Structure 1
Amino acid sequence: MTGFARTSGAVGDFLWTWELKSVNGRSLDVRCRVPQGFEAMDGIVRQAAAEYLKRGNLSANLTVDDVASRGRLSVNRAALDQILALVGEMQGRVEARPPSLDGLLGLKGVLELETPPVDAETLARRQQAIEAGLKQAMTELGAMRRVEGKRLADVVGGHLDEVERLRVAAVDTAGAQPINIRRRLEEQLRDLMPDGIPVDPERLAQELALVAGRADVREEIDRLAAHVAAARDLIKKGGAVGRKMDFLCQEFNREANTLCSKAADLALTNLGIELKAAIEQLREQIQNIE
């Protein structure tokens, strides 16, 4: 399921921002990007993701801006004095232009960035604020995914209605199978048996019973009805039902395949094919459910 959440805050001059993005996935996969010095947040993000989410690909990105840590530039007087002394010593020995100010300041070690130290109490408050922001972002992400889940529930419900419609149609079509089987068997016997040779009615009844038994699809139709009811119950209960719905789709396919293999006439075969197409559409939507 897809979703996006963004939270930000500040502790004094220290600014932080969380961005969470989730897309569909069969399992829970977390990718976390944090600035240098905040590597410990990776484990905290993964723990929070396992608490709030069950499946999907989650991308978590933390950015920080410590205004105070930008510091200020200062001149290393000792290093600059040494460089100037060397310049004076070399004058007259080497033909060269006098060094420029920007050239001197560009030398390594002349300019230094002074950053004020951060005490432990301030670091703790920053960490607490960042973790609170992560929880808030996870909550907002979950709310957005639930809104999408409600929309998907309507779509999945429509596919289940189509499966049920085809199942009911299969009930009516399957009821005509014994008659069609008997008619086809009698036609085959007339084509194979010489004229004038009678067919033993008892033997014919036995053959019909065997063929009709192999072509009986009532169990598959009943199981399809049970699977539809189970899927609707899962949607009604809510929560993380994606994996269970995946399993039900496998069962739907199994019954549809068996129905097609047992079909003794073209009408039931066509219904079985339509049923498999409807189940595939259902399965595609299930991949988007947590």
Structure 2
Amino acid sequence: MVKSMTGFGRATSEEGSNHIFSLEIKSVNHRYLDLNIRMPKSMISLEERIRKIVNERLNRGKVDIFINYKNYGQSDTIAKINTTLADSYVKCLEELQGRYNLKDDFSVSLVARFPDVITLEEKEENLEELWGDIFPLLNKSLSTIIAMREVEGNKLAEDIISKCSEIEQWIKIIEEKSMSVVEAYRQKLQERIKDLLGNVEVDENRLATEIAIFADKATIDEEITRLYSHLKQMRDTLKLNEPVGRKLDFIVQEMNRETNTIASKSTDLQITNIVINIKNMIEKIREQIQNIE
């Protein structure tokens, strides 16, 4: 099944528990899987587990994951006293008092206000308990975003198939038109020679050689056959149940190559105009494929 690389998923833990999580995933198109996770520092050690699960379920795209966390249980920070530093501050104050005969106005609040005497530290969380909350939310969000990718991917596939049918119709016109190109060239060549030489007899062998050379240069049978083949490959690839974006991109490049070759060989204005239409349609397909996983 074709999947796009654009999607969004969100899941939130149930109210009433001590730990409330909200997890959001959004993705856009990218050449490879580019995963960026934003989460509280206390959970950084869980990042590799998250990456592993995402890598198993997503193949391409720029994926951003946002994890927000609130703890409604016990406070996750504690105050700590740096007694060594406090002793040093008090000693300095005593020296100042003795040297300058200052009034003794030492107080707890005074010492506590000195830098780094009292600091706040985050309590270590129970990571396994947190993972038990995050894991189902991650899976739920991934399922949502994958479902969204599949819906959009199906629409992209339908659009690409429709465009392939249009290209195929144009190729048939070129194929029919190309059969008369050599004959038209022969007639124009004979008419020009007649205009230039009048009734002078022309070497038919020489004329046949010139026409054969032109026919060899102008023939586009191989290019047309390969274009039909590429269109079939594209339709078959869109039916595969695997990531197909890179393969489709390669097929489009080959289609563009064959179309350019037809354009370079064409001496017929109608064929040239049709080739322009085909190139325009191939470019539209290429833009669609950029968003396929």
| Equivalent residue in structure 2 for 1:223, among 222, 226, 238 | 226
3-state SS in 2 of match to 1:40? helix
- Name the counterpart of 1:273: 276
Post-superposition offset of 1:102? 7.6
Higher-RCO chain (CA-CA 8 Å, sequence separation at least 6) = 2
3-state SS in 2 of match to 1:69? coil
Aligned: 1:16 with 2:21: yes
- The CA deviation string for residues 203-243 of structure 1, in whole angstroms up to 9 with x for no partner, is 32232122112211122112111111111122233431111
**Residues 188 and 27 (structure 1), Cα distance of their counterparts in 2 relative to 1, 3 Å cut:** farther
- Name the counterpart of 2:37: 32
| Equivalent residue in structure 1 for 2:76, among 55, 70, 76 | 70
Post-superposition offset of 1:15? 2.6
- 2:179, 2:109 → 1: CA distance? 96
CA contact (8 A) 1:260 1:272 kept: yes
Aligned: 1:155 with 2:159: yes
Post-superposition offset of 1:167? 1.1
Post-superposition offset of 1:113? 4.7
The one-letter code sitting in structure 1 at the alignment partner of 2:185 is: I
Post-superposition offset of 1:289? 0.8
**Residues 171 and 90 (structure 1), Cα distance of their counterparts in 2 relative to 1, 3 Å cut:** same
Structure 2-normalised TM-score? 0.82
**Residues 51 and 198 (structure 1), Cα distance of their counterparts in 2 relative to 1, 3 Å cut:** same
Aligned: 1:170 with 2:166: no
- Name the counterpart of 1:59: 64
Report the number of matched residues.
284
CA contact (8 A) 2:79 2:121 kept: yes
**Residues 76 and 274 (structure 1), Cα distance of their counterparts in 2 relative to 1, 3 Å cut:** closer
Post-superposition offset of 1:65? 2.4
The one-letter code sitting in structure 1 at the alignment partner of 2:168 is: E
**Residues 168 and 127 (structure 1), Cα distance of their counterparts in 2 relative to 1, 3 Å cut:** same
CA contact (8 A) 1:34 1:41 kept: no
| Equivalent residue in structure 2 for 1:128, among 128, 132, 135 | 132
Aligned: 1:208 with 2:218: no
- Name the counterpart of 1:251: 254
3-state SS in 2 of match to 1:288? coil
Aligned: 1:41 with 2:46: yes
The two structures, once aligned, show a CA RMSD in angstroms of 3.3
Aligned: 1:144 with 2:184: no
CA contact (8 A) 1:166 1:275 kept: yes
- Structure 1 gap segments, 5+ residues each: none
- 1:243, 1:117 → 2: CA distance? 44
- 2:78, 2:178 → 1: CA distance? 85
- 1:117, 1:257 → 2: CA distance? 64
- 2:155, 2:69 → 1: CA distance? 36
CA contact (8 A) 2:97 2:103 kept: no
CA contact (8 A) 2:43 2:127 kept: no
Structure 1-normalised TM-score? 0.82
- 1:261, 1:165 → 2: CA distance? 20
- Structure 2 gap segments, 5+ residues each: none
- 2:207, 2:267 → 1: CA distance? 18
The one-letter code sitting in structure 2 at the alignment partner of 1:150 is: N
Post-superposition offset of 1:279? 0.7
Post-superposition offset of 1:74? 8.9
3-state SS in 1 of match to 2:239? helix
